[in-house]
């Protein structure tokens, strides 16, 4: 069996390639020109060079493939909506057309629980595979684009090609560049850190290898066709537990202070205009909502359908994430912060 993975150089895509290869399939990966093709080859996949706007390359990538796993996306949480839509919606449409034209059997769209409107999360109610949500607000450009891409997948005339949508929870684990790009800045370079609210809100944490197993099964399970699935963790991990684990992993003192959600949200709104560079990813309303609102995911339907359960507990998973982080970046990344490990 031949399968195609887009976004193979990314956090989810690289782990998905590894998981797929354990099942004995032939994996090819669509890699943008200039991206880390060597890393993808080292995982064992065959590289096809191209991007989501290259129609000819998409056709070649899909040719003779049985399943397409679409993980490529623009994943920042700030930016211009048209740019997110160009990649996450327009790119998805191009890939759907290529898959249909080349006779692909199944299209697995890897989505996010970021498609749920913050007002829905704020109710504190459980969210399952049947829960509907309005389109995310204008300030949540990533969630809005993923929401629109999901609608495109469900409404697209795929012909004989089946579709499956897998919404992923809050991912963590090795190769998560967010640890170095954003979390390192928060924990090692900022003097003021605080919980949003009292820190007791639940965060839908899911170890990335568990996510990769769920996505793989979504591609092979016959009954998953035409379904929206949720892959989330079984543990109740709070914001406080998550931030405590991050502080311990970075080797700094744990957070003590708290700020009200409304005030953090206001600061996020101001930060979207005042912050610059990667700091904007920390000081924005999207980050506040994803961190400070309860994420009560219930995915028993997905677990029963796929015969899947998360295997890695949070304590083990976060330890593995930091083992990777320190091996990858070492002490040099934090020397200027004045916080020895």
Per-residue model confidence as pLDDT tens digits over 162-176: 999 999 999 999 999
304 pLDDT above the threshold of 90: yes
Percent of the chain with pLDDT over 70: 95
* 182-225 pLDDT per residue, tens: 788 888 877 778 999 999 999 999 999 999 999 999 999 999 99
Domains and CATH numbers, the chain: 2-177+205-235+297-315 (3.40.50.720)
pLDDT (0 to 100) of residue 111? 97
HEC letters along the chain:
CEEEEECCCCHHHHHHHHHHHHCCCEEEEEECCCCCHHHHHHHCCEEEECCCCCHHHHHHHHCCCCEEEECCCCCCCCCCHHHHHHHHHHHHHHHHHHHHHCCCCEEEEEEEHHHCCHHHHHCCCCECCCCCCCCCCCCCHHHHHHHHHHHHHHHCCCCCCEEEEEEECEEECCCCCHHHHHHHHHHHCCCCCEEECCCCCEECEEEHHHHHHHHHHHHHCHHHCCCEEEECCCCCEEHHHHHHHHHHHHCCCCCCEEECHHHHHHHHHHHHHHCCHHHHHCCCHHHHHHHHCCCCECCHHHHHHHCCCCCCCHHHHHHHHHHHHHHHHCHHHHHHHCCCC
- Decide if pLDDT at 337 tops 50: no
Predicted local distance difference test score (pLDDT) of residue 185: 81
């Amino acid at each position: 069996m031949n399968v195609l993975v887009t976004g193979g150089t990314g956090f989810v895509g690289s782990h998905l390639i590894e998981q797929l290869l354990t099942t004995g399939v032939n994996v090819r990966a669509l890699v943008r020109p200039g991206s880390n093709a060597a890393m993808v080859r080292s995982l064992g996949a065959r590289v096809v060079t191209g991007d989501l706007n290259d129609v000819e390359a998409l056709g070649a990538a899909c040719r003779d493939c049985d399943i397409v796993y679409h993980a490529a996306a623009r994943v920042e949480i700030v930016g211009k909506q048209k740019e997110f839509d160009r990649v996450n919606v327009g790119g998805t449409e191009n890939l759907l057309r290529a898959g249909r034209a080349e006779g692909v059997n199944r299209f697995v769209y890897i989505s996010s629980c970021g498609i749920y409107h913050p007002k829905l999360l704020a109710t504190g109610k459980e969210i399952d595979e049947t829960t509907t949500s309005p389109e995310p607000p204008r300030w949540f450009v990533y969630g809005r684009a993923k929401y629109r891409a999901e609608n495109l997948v469900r409404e697209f005339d795929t012909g004989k090609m089946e579709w499956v949508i897998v919404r992923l929870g809050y991912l963590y684990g090795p190769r998560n560049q967010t640890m170095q790009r954003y979390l390192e800045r928060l924990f090692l370079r900022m003097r003021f850190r605080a919980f949003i609210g009292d820190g007791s809100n639940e965060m839908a944490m899911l170890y990335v290898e568990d996510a990769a197993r769920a996505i793989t099964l979504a591609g092979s399970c016959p009954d998953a066709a035409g379904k929206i699935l949720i892959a989330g963790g079984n543990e109740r991990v709070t914001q406080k537990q998550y931030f405590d684990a991050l502080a311990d992993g970075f080797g700094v003192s744990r957070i003590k202070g708290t700020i009200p959600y409304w005030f953090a949200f206001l600061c996020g709104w101001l930060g979207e205009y005042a912050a610059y560079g990667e700091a904007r990813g920390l000081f924005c309303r999207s980050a506040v909502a994803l961190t400070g609102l309860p994420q009560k995911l219930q995915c028993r339907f997905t677990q029963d359908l796929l015969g899947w359960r998360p295997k890695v507990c949070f304590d083990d998973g976060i330890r593995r994430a930091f083992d990777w982080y320190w091996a990858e970046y070492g002490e040099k990344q934090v020397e200027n912060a004045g916080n020895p490990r």
